[in-house]
């Protein structure tokens, strides 16, 4: 009798252990299948962006004793992403463009915002983690002429200056909303029309020349998060150190775009940008835009 009970116990234990193993294998297979399905779903091009028109105004009648100058400002902006994924390949592209004007009562209309930037990041999977071998490309310039606010002299226009960066590196990408690229061998070209360098250097380009070559290290980070429902924050950080000239003077370009949605078409937008480039100006350049936005997503 004891032998029979022992045999039955062993059989039951074996069946239970085998069932647990089979259940574990089934769970693993289901997880792998879900992961493959997710990868298959995300294969190909993923496009999205928005166009936003920002407007703000201050007005005072003739009897207003508190002081102030009536003003009106508006800007048009584009933020568009088109990313590709297939197997071990990722290719992320972003276009940012904006142009704004401000009118103060009794004064001429002046430019308040002007930029055009394209970034492309190509990566191929390196191992099983979130790392990719990458190639980075960035181009930025402006669309209209710029004038010195003190003298009124033209100091820039389209493609003057224009900045181009490109080089190999390593990309860490958790998702489309969180990634970091490290490019330790990046070439940088600065272009400017030679009439801006007739009397001296401009934007780091030497007198009488129209371009400047730099070689250094670039670090580029991107992080987009939802602070709360209908409030999102986009952070873009670009750092560059020129090995050939004062590598300790790191060029900094930080951009923050905060969107507070009212509904599908209306939002309050805040754009902030901090620039440091000792070749252009030995101090931080700050740009801040705040206004009520009319959005069109596509």
Rounded to whole angstroms, the maximal C-alpha distance in the chain is 110
| pLDDT on residue 60 | 75
pTM (predicted TM-score): 0.82
| pLDDT on residue 166 | 98
Q: How many CB atoms lie within 10 A of CB 19?
A: 10
3 state SS of 96: strand
| 121/173 Cα distance (integer angstroms) | 11
pLDDT in tens, 232-254: 999 999 999 999 999 999 999 99
Which range (51-65, 161-175, 190-204) has the least confidence?
A: 51-65
Q: Is residue 17 over pLDDT 60?
A: no
Q: Could you tell me which residue, 30 or 99, shows the higher pLDDT?
A: 99
| pLDDT on residue 116 | 96
Over range 117-132, report the average pLDDT.
95
| pLDDT on residue 198 | 92
Which range (37-46, 95-104, 227-236) has the least confidence?
A: 37-46
Query: Taking a C-beta distance cutoff of 8 angstroms, is the pair 246, 277 a contact?
Result: no
Q: Is residue 96 over pLDDT 70?
A: yes
Q: Is residue 7 over pLDDT 50?
A: no
| pLDDT on residue 34 | 53
In CATH, the number for domain 46-297 is: 2.40.160
| pLDDT on residue 283 | 87
Q: Is residue 66 over pLDDT 90?
A: no
Sign for the pseudo-dihedral over CA of 280, 163, 120, 295: positive
């Amino acid at each position: 009798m004891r032998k029979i009970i022992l045999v039955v116990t062993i059989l039951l234990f074996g069946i239970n252990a085998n069932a647990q193993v089979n259940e574990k294998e089934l769970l693993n297979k289901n997880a792998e299948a879900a992961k493959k399905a997710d990868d298959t779903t995300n294969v190909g091009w993923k496009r999205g962006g928005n166009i936003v028109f920002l407007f703000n105004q201050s007005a005072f009648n003739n009897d207003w004793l508190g002081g102030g100058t009536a003003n009106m400002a508006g800007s048009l902006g584009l933020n568009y992403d088109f990313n590709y994924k297939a197997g071990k390949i990722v290719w992320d592209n972003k276009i940012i463009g904006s142009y704004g004007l401000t009118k103060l009562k009794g004064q001429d209309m002046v430019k308040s915002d002007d930029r055009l930037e394209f970034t492309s990041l190509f990566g191929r999977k390196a191992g099983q983690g979130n790392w990719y071998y990458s190639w980075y490309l960035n181009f930025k310039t402006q669309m209209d002429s710029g004038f010195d606010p003190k003298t009124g002299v033209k100091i820039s226009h389209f493609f003057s200056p224009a900045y181009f960066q490109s080089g190999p590196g390593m990309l860490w990408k958790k998702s489309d909303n969180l990634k970091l690229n490290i490019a330790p061998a990046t070439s940088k070209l600065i272009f400017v029309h030679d009439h801006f360098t007739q009397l001296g250097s401009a934007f780091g380009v030497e007198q009488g020349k129209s371009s400047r070559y730099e070689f250094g290290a670039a670090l580029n980070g991107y992080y987009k998060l939802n602070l709360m429902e209908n409030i999102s924050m986009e952070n873009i950080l670009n750092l560059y150190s020129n090995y050939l000239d004062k590598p300790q003077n790191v060029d900094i370009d930080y951009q923050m775009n905060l969107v507070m949605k009212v509904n599908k078409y209306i939002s309050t937008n805040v754009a902030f940008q901090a620039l440091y480039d000792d070749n252009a100006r030995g101090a931080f350049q700050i740009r801040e835009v705040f206004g009520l936005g009319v959005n069109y997503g596509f």
